[in-house]
Amino acid sequence: MSETTTRPAGPADADRLTALIQASSAYRGAYFAMIDGYVVTPDYVERHEVRMAVTDDDRLLGFYALIREPAELDLMFVADEAQGLGIGRHLITDMLDRARESGIAAVKVVSHPPAEGFYRQLGAERTGTRPPQAKTPWEQPELRFTV
Q: What is the pLDDT of residues 54-92, one digit of tens each?
A: 999 999 999 999 999 999 999 999 999 999 999 999 999
Asked if 14 contacts 40 with a C-beta cutoff of 8 angstroms, the reply is: yes
Domain containing residue 115: 4-146
pLDDT at 1: 52
CA 4 to chain centre: 17
Task: Give the pLDDT score at 2.
Answer: 75
Residue of higher predicted confidence among 81 and 138: 81
Q: Which residue, 69, 34, 79, is CA-closest to 49?
A: 69
CATH number (domain holding residue 62)? 3.40.630.30
Tell me phi and psi for residue 99, to 5 degrees.
-60, -45
End-to-end CA distance of the chain: 31
Query: Mean pLDDT score of the chain, rounded to an integer?
Result: 95
- 49-55 and 71-78 beta bridge pairing: unpaired
The confidence score (pLDDT) of residue 21 equals 97
Whole-structure pTM value: 0.94
pLDDT of the residue at 29: 85
* Helix/strand/coil for 124: coil
Instruction: Report the pLDDT value the prediction gives residue 31, as an integer from 0 to 100.
Output: 86
Give the model confidence (pLDDT) of 107-121 as tens digits: 999 998 899 999 999
Q: How many domains does the chain have?
A: 1
How does strand 71-78 pair with strand 106-110?
parallel
